[in-house]
Chain A
């Protein structure tokens, strides 16, 4: 199984109008840099408290952030800009039973029988080493199942995979350690900046080996080349933003994103992970046919970082992916009971005690730094003489989303035989493939409609998707993504007679080329991601009391997942320096069976032992389509559906000193 999230499915509840998130103060006389003298450091300091209460779980965030923004002109036209950020989230201590050292507990597992679903203690089989040994087939005594788990893998500090958003309900289920990694190290891996964090690192995420408290630090200068042409350079740790649409990152993929901060609901500028980048832009100005012409080269020379999907056991684990990874890593390291697994008879799927080194996630192959692992982009951006503003973009980069390559090495659970590759086996390594992207964007007005239209599209090669019809359980597929957005300021008298209310609608489309999906004996197999999908968003934002009060409503609907997010909020700028925001985030999902997908229980990697009961082709490995919500339902549910039980209310306070 591979876990390439849909990059288009990120909904950020950023406001897209004229007031929004609290940035920091500016420096005094910021006229264009034209070689003027140096200036002293200008420092602006802000504080934010963001408190979230989540339905069913209680406190889900008590994050306190201090941010300093520093600017200095250093002479000869060079300017330095830096943002330092440090935060402390008290949720791990204030709600430790949910997210901290006391999280999780002992769990049960499940078996399917003709009489119904049967619950048993985790670690107690019923399929165990002893039971399998008793089957008497040649080599049965050497089976690698276990009768129980030792002190290194106790039934404590655990939750059942996916229990935050669905019941096991006859599907695959296994244990996930949820405590910080200094409390419980089971399944802890560095998945790329998350997955192996101890309590203090979760509380204060910016203070790490990548020095994330230095959020931005760069130097910039505009070199006047004469004849109206300039060369703009910006070197350092920075964000580079491409594209024209809100919410969806079709072209805006140069920086990875930290979803652990507030899932998909923070401003992208706050959750993009700045990278060490050099960019140069040749600003050619106008020509006889173009009003503006610019060519930009972006070289991301930083060591690779993927998106931070959130460590299992923390409040924000997008798609619950971090829990899947940690649970799978623990299965590899220590083994564990997998619910409803062994198809030993008609209508009978018994919980099975796997030992270590048989199934799970072993290696995380984060690309090391090398020249060939750096990332390079180019953009031509211009405005035609008729006012069409457009860009053409190309980027070669490493996927910021992990791909799980299956069919890897393992010990055959039934025979104890080790083999370097077992086709269709859920033994994985995590990879980050190289992706090549070409795309473009444009915007224009439609005067008759009083609206501005934004479009963005990208075609990628190299992305990888889960695919249970392939031996390694993934496939590379080309992808086309596009967004069209329309902004229309509209006077809605009952909101305000003097300030227009912004109505902004967007429709995102994704198509996966050579999509594989077929109906097998017990259900569909192939790719869980939808071949074609649409996501629509609608923002309505008003401005009251001279813009100091701004109510807004955001709706987002994933058409194939049939999942909706509704996010109302009100911002109140009490003073120039104090802003208070209250809001909620509620999700709806219309039926959930359509999220179920092939879970590879019937892939038969250890033929003939893993073939479904009575299978006519028991010596062949391939998926027959047993399915459930785990683990691939998350790709069909998307970020909205997979979080449909995470309904939040929040209060955010921003103060500038």
Chain B
């Protein structure tokens, strides 16, 4: 009997740790290709359907709550496209298989995972009975493919818009660079840059070119492998020609007066441990995902030398991208800030199962629990975007809308994303790079 109990210990421990069963290669396949058995469908919904105020109720079950409200309020009409595969690059899926079941959760929510090497750490289907299923999805997001090992959005236009009048109050022209320092699977060096004594996992570097008062403003955010460590953030102010270290409180501030916080970047730009994550179920939901080259593109944006054109904006105040939405299998995930002083009471994500990104149709609730903002980032298939992105195996962020329902204001973003490792040397992500400009 004693021997039997000893043999059971690992399983009991696994139960305590929230790991019901070991993941299998079949789980990995299902995770990266949830449409093996066919594309999802919904009665009355086909490619070409337009969902608007009049028929929103018919499709309420496949709309995120925030998006439903936007449509029901008549703020925009959703054009539906066919569901398509967004296959993630093979290096990442291979890494997931190679390191299957190596990742273990920490002893309690918020603790650092152990054993993670590369790929998707928890590829198995989340289990509603697993109290830490949401946390596992959060780790999948942190170590998700996102922008791959590195990419740049250049240029990246943000527009501050009055949703009621359509007035564009401010236009910012940016470059956004992303680089994974660790757990790299595709671009050299693999698996990581060394030396890296601080254990930087990923960094985001941005530089503003317009308007005049923000010219040369640069932001550097360094996220660490150790989730217990706070991000380091530095801001170079062009008008001061000096680098300022940012206090952490500034990540929940309206970034440069926009409708986004730094914490909103990419859907969620914070530590896993900053939130209490809850898996709320799996369903099919419409997300903004498309083939860029099949859209009717903007004609009112600056011309690019290579002929690239941006996703057009439309709807009330031109606050919404004119891309198409497709029915996707999603995990509904809720994140409630651990810090009770946080300006947000909770975030609701519709996590695309295939990509496991968090930015398709997010709802952000204010401290009173009322819907405050809806954040929608549209993705293009990489093979239908710039030539440099072909075969990248990631969803290319292509346009975003952050709609503040309370202030009737929005910030929109139009991307020119380039998955090009040459444009992301690691030196770009050092503080000193900020000081070395003009």
Contacts A18-B257, A288-B195, A547-B258 given: A387-B430 contact, CB under 8 Å? no
Query: In the bound complex, do residue B253 and residue A291 qualify as a contact, i.e. CB atoms below 8 Å apart?
Result: no
Q: Can you list 8 A-B contacts (CB < 8 A)?
A: A241-B242, A244-B245, A286-B195, A387-B198, A445-B247, A452-B246, A576-B171, A656-B211
Contacts A46-B212, A546-B170 given: A490-B257 contact, CB under 8 Å? no
Q: A384: shortest Cβ distance to chain B, in Å?
A: 8
In the complex, what distance in Å separates the CA atom of A546 from the CA atom of B172?
13
Residue B184 at the A interface, CB < 8 A?
no
Residues of A within 8 A of B152 (CB): 31
Which B201-250 residues sit within 8 Å CB-CB of chain A?
207-217, 229-230, 232, 234-235, 237-250
Among A19-27, A103-111, A524-532, A627-635, the one that faces the other chain is: A19-27
Nearest A residue (CB) for B438: A81
Residues of A within 8 A of B209 (CB): 25-28, 30
In the complex, what distance in Å separates the CA atom of A637 from the CA atom of B241?
30
Q: A291-305 vs B: 1/0 string, CB under 8 Å?
A: 110100000000000
Query: In the bound complex, do residue B216 and residue A26 qualify as a contact, i.e. CB atoms below 8 Å apart?
Result: yes
Residue A267 at the B interface, CB < 8 A?
yes
Most buried by A among B154, B200, B253, B431: B253
Query: In the bound complex, do residue B213 and residue A22 qualify as a contact, i.e. CB atoms below 8 Å apart?
Result: yes
In the complex, what distance in Å separates the CA atom of A278 from the CA atom of B393?
45
Residue B106 at the A interface, CB < 8 A?
no
Nearest B residue (CB) for A487: B247
6 extra A-B contacts, CB within 8 A, seeds A26-B173, A29-B305: A16-B237, A27-B209, A46-B212, A228-B193, A287-B195, A292-B431
Which A305-344 residues sit within 8 Å CB-CB of chain B?
none
Query: In the bound complex, do residue A290 and residue B214 qualify as a contact, i.e. CB atoms below 8 Å apart?
Result: no
Query: In the bound complex, do residue A31 and residue B197 qualify as a contact, i.e. CB atoms below 8 Å apart?
Result: no
Residue A613 at the B interface, CB < 8 A?
no
Query: In the bound complex, do residue B213 and residue A21 qualify as a contact, i.e. CB atoms below 8 Å apart?
Result: yes
Residues of A within 8 A of B240 (CB): 14, 16, 20, 246, 267-269
In the complex, what distance in Å separates the CA atom of A234 from the CA atom of B241?
15
Residue B382 at the A interface, CB < 8 A?
no
In the complex, what distance in Å separates the CA atom of A239 from the CA atom of B435?
12
In the complex, what distance in Å separates the CA atom of A243 from the CA atom of B243?
9
Residues of B within 8 A of A267 (CB): 239-240
**How many residue pairs, one in A and one in B, have C-beta atoms under 8 Å apart?**
216
Residues of B within 8 A of A498 (CB): 254, 343, 407
Residue B160 at the A interface, CB < 8 A?
yes
Residues of A within 8 A of B235 (CB): 18
Residue B114 at the A interface, CB < 8 A?
no
Query: In the bound complex, do residue B257 and residue A244 qualify as a contact, i.e. CB atoms below 8 Å apart?
Result: no
In the complex, what distance in Å separates the CA atom of A25 from the CA atom of B154?
16
Residue B17 at the A interface, CB < 8 A?
no
Residue A431 at the B interface, CB < 8 A?
no
Most buried by A among B160, B232, B242, B247: B247
Residue B409 at the A interface, CB < 8 A?
yes
In the complex, what distance in Å separates the CA atom of A239 from the CA atom of B436?
11
Nearest B residue (CB) for A15: B239
Q: What is the predominant secondary structure among interface residues of chain B facing chain A?
A: mixed
Contacts A546-B258, A573-B170 given: A387-B232 contact, CB under 8 Å? yes
Residue A32 at the B interface, CB < 8 A?
yes
Residue B196 at the A interface, CB < 8 A?
yes
Q: B286: shortest Cβ distance to chain A, in Å?
A: 28
Q: B395-438 vs A: 1/0 string, CB under 8 Å?
A: 00000000000010100000000000011011110111001101
Q: B202: shortest Cβ distance to chain A, in Å?
A: 14
Query: In the bound complex, do residue A230 and residue B230 qualify as a contact, i.e. CB atoms below 8 Å apart?
Result: no
In the complex, what distance in Å separates the CA atom of A548 from the CA atom of B161?
12
Q: B258: shortest Cβ distance to chain A, in Å?
A: 7
In the complex, what distance in Å separates the CA atom of A57 from the CA atom of B293?
65
Query: In the bound complex, do residue B249 and residue A288 qualify as a contact, i.e. CB atoms below 8 Å apart?
Result: no
Query: In the bound complex, do residue A500 and residue B249 qualify as a contact, i.e. CB atoms below 8 Å apart?
Result: yes
Contacting residue for A291 out of B197, B211, B245, CB 8 A: B197
Contacting residue for B197 out of A228, A290, A450, A543, CB 8 A: A290
Residue B155 at the A interface, CB < 8 A?
yes
Contacts A46-B212, A241-B241 given: A232-B436 contact, CB under 8 Å? yes
Residue A495 at the B interface, CB < 8 A?
no
Query: In the bound complex, do residue A286 and residue B196 qualify as a contact, i.e. CB atoms below 8 Å apart?
Result: yes
Query: In the bound complex, do residue B239 and residue A14 qualify as a contact, i.e. CB atoms below 8 Å apart?
Result: yes
Which A460-477 residues sit within 8 Å CB-CB of chain B?
none
Residue A159 at the B interface, CB < 8 A?
no
In the complex, what distance in Å separates the CA atom of A331 from the CA atom of B66?
79
Q: A540: shortest Cβ distance to chain B, in Å?
A: 15
Contacts A450-B247, A546-B258 given: A23-B238 contact, CB under 8 Å? yes
Residues of A within 8 A of B155 (CB): 28-29
Query: In the bound complex, do residue B247 and residue A451 qualify as a contact, i.e. CB atoms below 8 Å apart?
Result: yes
Residue A491 at the B interface, CB < 8 A?
yes
Residue B169 at the A interface, CB < 8 A?
yes
Query: In the bound complex, do residue A22 and residue B247 qualify as a contact, i.e. CB atoms below 8 Å apart?
Result: no
Q: Which 8 A-B pairs have the closest CB atoms?
A: A547-B257, A26-B209, A385-B197, A500-B253, A450-B249, A499-B254, A452-B247, A291-B198
In the complex, what distance in Å separates the CA atom of A450 from the CA atom of B243?
18
Nearest B residue (CB) for A546: B257
Contacting residue for A269 out of B214, B239, B430, B436, CB 8 A: B239
Contacts A241-B242, A450-B249, A547-B170 given: A31-B154 contact, CB under 8 Å? yes
Nearest B residue (CB) for A290: B197
Which A239-255 residues sit within 8 Å CB-CB of chain B?
239, 241, 243-244, 246
In the complex, what distance in Å separates the CA atom of A281 from the CA atom of B436?
9
Q: B131: shortest Cβ distance to chain A, in Å?
A: 28
In the complex, what distance in Å separates the CA atom of A24 from the CA atom of B210?
8
Query: In the bound complex, do residue B170 and residue A31 qualify as a contact, i.e. CB atoms below 8 Å apart?
Result: no
Contacts A228-B427, A267-B239, A288-B197 given: A20-B432 contact, CB under 8 Å? no
Q: B404: shortest Cβ distance to chain A, in Å?
A: 8
- How many B residues are at the interface, by size bracket? 35 or more
Query: In the bound complex, do residue B169 and residue A22 qualify as a contact, i.e. CB atoms below 8 Å apart?
Result: no
Query: In the bound complex, do residue B175 and residue A31 qualify as a contact, i.e. CB atoms below 8 Å apart?
Result: yes
Query: In the bound complex, do residue B247 and residue A20 qualify as a contact, i.e. CB atoms below 8 Å apart?
Result: no
In the complex, what distance in Å separates the CA atom of A464 from the CA atom of B241?
30
Most buried by B among A20, A451, A452: A452
Residues of A within 8 A of B422 (CB): 34
Nearest B residue (CB) for A252: B242
Residues of B within 8 A of A387 (CB): 198, 229, 232
Residues of A within 8 A of B257 (CB): 18-19, 499, 543, 545-548
Q: B176: shortest Cβ distance to chain A, in Å?
A: 11
Query: In the bound complex, do residue A269 and residue B241 qualify as a contact, i.e. CB atoms below 8 Å apart?
Result: yes
Residues of B within 8 A of A222 (CB): 427, 436
Contacting residue for B427 out of A21, A46, A230, A496, CB 8 A: A230
Q: A225: shortest Cβ distance to chain B, in Å?
A: 11
Residue B77 at the A interface, CB < 8 A?
no
Residues of A within 8 A of B169 (CB): 545-546, 548, 575
Which A512-552 residues sit within 8 Å CB-CB of chain B?
543, 545-548
Residues of B within 8 A of A292 (CB): 430-432
Residue B256 at the A interface, CB < 8 A?
yes
Q: A53: shortest Cβ distance to chain B, in Å?
A: 25
Residues of A within 8 A of B254 (CB): 496, 498-500, 543, 546-547
Residues of A within 8 A of B258 (CB): 546-547
In the complex, what distance in Å separates the CA atom of A46 from the CA atom of B210?
13
Query: In the bound complex, do residue A23 and residue B197 qualify as a contact, i.e. CB atoms below 8 Å apart?
Result: no
Which B331-371 residues sit within 8 Å CB-CB of chain A?
343
Contacts A30-B207, A445-B230, A498-B254 given: A16-B216 contact, CB under 8 Å? no
Contacts A267-B239, A285-B427, A386-B198 given: A30-B175 contact, CB under 8 Å? yes
Contacts A16-B244, A31-B175, A487-B247 given: A547-B256 contact, CB under 8 Å? yes
Q: A276: shortest Cβ distance to chain B, in Å?
A: 17
Query: In the bound complex, do residue A654 and residue B212 qualify as a contact, i.e. CB atoms below 8 Å apart?
Result: yes
In the complex, what distance in Å separates the CA atom of A25 from the CA atom of B211?
6
Which A1-56 residues sit within 8 Å CB-CB of chain B?
14-16, 18-32, 34, 44, 46
Residues of A within 8 A of B252 (CB): 500
Query: In the bound complex, do residue B253 and residue A499 qualify as a contact, i.e. CB atoms below 8 Å apart?
Result: yes
